[in-house]
Structure formats: structure tokens, C-alpha cells
Structure 1
């Protein structure tokens, strides 16, 4: 019976979520003192409404004696630069961003300028909507130095400790659920395939020498999802990458409203799948696995309602496991997992429509659409 086959697939994916949750790298509770120069690099553009908590958290970092904080103001018109000066004083180096060259998107260019402005051995990129715990930077460096004995004891070149995401949990917690459910984390760490990569640009640590060898942000200058593409570039350069649970290290409120969320996802979601056909296939799969069982539970014949209930509960269980593993709120959000999938499909459609009509924008700049990997 098709309903039971779907349930079996969902159950297997939920088991995989649990395995990944158990294997997910976690920062040390008490990270050692960092013995090398580290630069925290913060690009800002019209962030006066939220940059203060981020800056104050950076200034309160512990365990990194040789820490440099560099902020680049990328053409803000809301007084962001003045606020950075007032809060950071002489402890923060504030750069004024150069005009955006042709062929570049705003964030990759800002990050490239920040990286060029420091000689630190470790680069830690942070977004203005992120607030770090006092030991977060030291813990990120410790995660870089973590080793995988199975893979020969090599440390990592890029680590993305995923923050605890605040706000709009119905959709936002899909991010962590998706890579815990569909991405084999240990295989990603050991594989040299650039296509097997994931990263989150909100909080990302990378070794400076590997960053340079990979081409830095110049290698991903026109990519909407520059964080994932940077991870792929590091892999192409022979480096190793890892995802980690950063929920104890950082919080991130990406969007303050559903309108902002729709605009943010509309800007970039299309780039996650490479083509409309691939996106349609992914949406069809997600609906078949996570929406169909709920529909069968409500409207199906009596003979298949049990299968629908089992499939629905397996999907809910996957959301619960992912939320608990990454600092999210399991309930009641997990119960609305089918609604989350439908909402995701709608947002994906909005993103592709904006791309088709050439109306992709972010921070008052047009976003030029590019496909594929560099």
C-alpha cells in the first residue's frame, strides 16, 4: 500500500535525523584559551536597529587574548556607522565599504574587504542579527581544531556553528530540520565532493590560509547563498568543513516579521535548488512525505487512516528531534509540520516568481540571479 510505503520512508528519514542529532558536533562547555590571532568580521548595512546587542557581545568575548573586531559599514543611511563608533570606541576598527563593483553582490564584497583588512590566522564572520555568548569565538576556534579519528585525525578548515534561531519557528526551524534529516553529516565531513556541503553565514569560522587558497569571497562574488558556496570552495581547495550545534553559543533573529521573512526567503530560496525543475521535484517529494499522510489521516478511507497517522507522527517526531538537538522549541510547532512544508512551498514559489520578473532585491539593492557553482 502506497500510504504505508510513504510512512516507511518518513520513518527512515526520522531515524536518520536522530542519528545526525547524536553525531552533531557540539562546542566544548569550557573552551581552551585561543593561542593565535583571531579576527571577528562584521558587515553591516542599515543595521542601527539591531547592531548594538551584537557589538556588545563581541566586546565581551573571553578566552581570545589576541582578538580583533573589524566592522565594515556598507553604505548605511541610518546612522549605523555612528552607532558602531559610539559603542566600539577604539576597540572596534570601523571600515567604510568601497562602491560595489560590477559582478559582485553586496555581502560577498563586504566580507572580502573585511578579510583583506586583517592578518589574523582565523576569520570569524558574524551577521549583525547574531548575539554571541561570551565564550562563542573561543568555542568556534576549538571546533575548528576538533578532529575526526575515523578520517585520520584531521582538523577542520571551516566550521559553521548554527545559532539558535529566534522568531517564526514554523518556517525558521525547518532550516535545522532539513540538514539533520537529509544531509549525512559525517559523510559531508569526510567527503571531498563540493556538492556535499552546507554552512550558515550568520556565524562561521574559517582558517585564513585555507580561505585564501579557496579564493575567499571573490570565488563566490555573485552567489546569493555565499555561505554554502564558500564551503564548497573550501572543499575544492582541499579543506574540510563541518556543521555544529551553535545554539549554546549564539542566537539569531533573522526576521522581525513575516513580511521580512517572506522578503528574505524570496531573495535567496530559488538559489537552493539550481533550477525550477529541481525545486519542483523537491517540493513534490516533501508534500508526498509530510503533507499527504496528514491529508490521509483527515480524509482518507478508514483502511489508510492508520498509515496516515503513523506517517504524520513520524514527521512530527523528526521535527521534535531536530528542535531538541539544535535549541529549538519542539511544541506546538512540530505538530504543524505539514503546514510548515506548505508554507515553504509557497515561499519557494514567491522566490522563483520574483526571480523570473527580475524583482529580487535586498537592502535596497537589486539581486542579480546566477545559477550553478563557480
Structure 2
């Protein structure tokens, strides 16, 4: 069993190191003369939209910048907060009623994109993201220099969930060949994070825009796949130096956020179980076996098992350092992270089976 985990872990950690070296990053101090539309969908974000808005209003290096904000049926005074913070410096739209067959965020993003007019670049940002002053210009520059139609710069994740949240970046750095993903036309070989997306309007429209992913819980990945299916290219980037995202401020929020979407990350419950089982074999079994073997006096095999555990820890450290995360001591708890992730996956499927998935007051 030890060798069954050790050899794949060596390969996966090596792959993480290679990906970390190849990872694209938007450049600080960039400028652009293109017409850029920043699109901000909001639903009940009164308590946390202010830092996002202030950061957008402080963007530099983009002389032709328009900020469009859509209030999607908020009941907490979100629109009033937007007016108080930004006044007439942004264009505030009132969202249309949600049509049948649509989920809320795709519908809001589709309305924003339609209102962006003749912008040269579309920048989608979530309310929990705070951008550095040169982030928008840096994202636009990287979109063009990469030759892609959709760029996903992952922000630095802050807030609750230190054991679980870093698995987002770790997963694609470990298992996804980044450069091959950019070159490959396969829609299944795609990843994206909807917190901050930079899109070429022509490529976005050719892919069908957010209408193509109107019912997708993971609309960001769906949009990336739609771009690929339409002949476009996508790229991931590390945006941690220019953006941070407070996705969840408590474990309760994280649990509910993951609950609504984790089920959609897998083809089926059986597929999810297989993925969690493999992760358990690779990252949980070695330290458990190492402790048990050491207690039984099998020092040699215990050493190999603990070596496998440490190789997994190295992969987590590399991922954290490459994406602005916290490496120590969090990486040492990688087995605990995998166990928590497996529990969240099981809970998400259970909620879906019972028809109890909701988000912001709407059924999922």
C-alpha cells in the first residue's frame, strides 16, 4: 500500500512544481488603452461590497474604464450602499426577474455583458474580491499577451477555511497540466474561478456568453468549456499579488457555499466517491499507516509511509507559495483537509438528493 501511494505522490508533487514555475501572473504596473467594462453582479451584498467598490474606483492605468453594477433583487439595501459609495461613478442597473431555466449569477452576468456595449474587454468581478489599483490593467495585458479569449486570475483567498479553501488552487496545480490545457481544444480539460474573469467580448459572444451556462451551478467552469467548444482558448493565472477574495467569513458560510456546488464538480456520486477514495489513499492513508507501523515496531515501513506523507506536504507548500497562500503550518494538516473535503462532498450530494440546495434565497 505504501508504494501504491509513494510513487504517484512523487509524480504529482513534481507536476505541482512544474506548474508553479509555468504559472502565468498579471504584471504589476501595467497599463492599457483599451475600453474596459468591469461587471459586478450583486445580490444581498450590502455588508461587504464597499471594499470591492472602493478598489474598483481606484483603478489606475485604464483611462477608458466603465464600472457596471447590477443589483439582482437584493433585499438588504445593496443598491443604497452602491449609491452611497460610488454615486454616479458607476452605472447601477436593476436586474430583471429571473427567467425559468436560469440560475441567478449567470443571468446577472448576462445582463451586465449585454449592457457593456462596445467595450474591448469584459472584466467580471465578485463582490468579495478586492483588486489592487493596477489589477484590471494587469489582467487585460495578460489576456492579450497570452492570446486567449478567457483568462482566470485566481485571487489570494482570505477568511475562513484555511484547511479547505487552499485545496482550490492546489487541485489544479497538482492535477491539471496548465500549458496542455491552454493548447488543448478539449472542453473537458478546463478550469476557471468566477471571482475574477477577464474576457475578450468576441470570444465570449462566440461561446454563447452566460446564456450558454444559464443553468450551471459552476458557471465559471461551464463558461471556460463553452469558450473551448467554440474554438477559443483559456488560461489560468495566479492573481494573488493583485487581488484578494474573502469568500467566506465563517465555517457556516463555507459549508453552505460548498454544499451548493460541490456535487456539480463530479459526474456522479460514484465518480465523487472514486475521487475522494483516491485522495484518501494518497494523502490520508500514509500518515495513518506510518503512525500504526511505528507503534507496531515496523520502523522501516513506517519511514516510507511518513516519507509519502511529507511528499504530499511538499506539494501543498509549493501550491501555497505559488498562489499567495499560507504554507506553514497549514500544509502539515493536508490529511485533515482531505477528510474535511470528503465530508463536504458527501454533504453536498445528500442535500441535492433531498432537494434542499439553495443560495441567497433561491433554489439551486
State the TM-score, normalizing by the size of structure 2.
0.97
**1:261 counterpart = 2:261:** no
Aligned-residue offset at 1:260:
0.3
Q: Would you identify which runs of 4 or more consecutive aligned residues in structure 1 move more than 2 Å?
A: none
8 Å Cα contact 2:28-2:242 kept in structure 1: no
Number of residue pairs matched by the alignment: 358
8 Å Cα contact 1:164-1:247 kept in structure 2: yes
Matched residue, 1:77: 75
**C-alpha distance after superposition, 1:295-341 (max 9, x if no partner):** 11111251421111011000100000000000000011000000000
1:219 corresponds to 2:215: no
Q: Deviations over 1:174-220 (max 9, x none)?
A: 10000000000000000011100000000000001111111000000
CA contact (8 A) 1:296 1:304 kept: no
Match of 2:322 in 1: 325
Question: What root-mean-square deviation, in Å, do the aligned CA atoms of Structure 1 and Structure 2 show?
Answer: 0.8
Separation in 2, partners of 1:108, 1:312: 40
In structure 1, C-alpha distance between the alignment counterparts of 2:332 and 2:281, rounded to whole Å: 17
Q: Is the 8 A contact 1:10 1:315 kept in 2?
A: yes
Cα deviation, 1:237-265, whole Å, max 9, x if unaligned, reads: 11110000000111001001000000000
Q: Which residue of structure 2 aligns with residue 124 of structure 1? A: 123
Return the match for 1:286 from 258, 275, 279. Answer: 279
1:43: how far off?
Answer: 0.3
Quote how far apart the aligned CAs of 1:88 are.
1.0
Displacement of 1:113: 0.4
> Can you list the C-alpha shifts for 1:339-368, whole angstroms capped at 9, x where unaligned?
00000000000000000000000001110x
Which residues in structure 2 correspond to 1:291-306 (within 5 Å)? 291-300=284-293, 301=296, 302=298, 303-306=300-303
| Cα shift at 1:29 | 2.7
Q: Which of residues 180, 184, 205 in structure 2 aligns to 1:187?
A: 180
Structure 1 residue runs without a partner (length 5+) = 148-154, 368-374
Among 157, 163, 174, which residue is 2:167 paired with? 174
3-state SS in 2 of match to 1:227: helix
Which consecutive unaligned segments of at least 5 residues does structure 2 have? none
TM-score (norm 1): 0.95
Q: Alpha-carbon deviation of 1:5?
A: 3.0
Instruction: Choose which of 338, 344, 347 in structure 2 pairs with 1:347.
Output: 344
Please give the alpha-carbon distance, in whole angstroms, between the structure 2 residues aligned to 1:63 and 1:156.
21
Counterpart Cα distance in 1 of 2:269 and 2:12: 24
Aligned to 1:45: 43
| Structure 2 residue 134 is matched with structure 1 residue 135 | yes
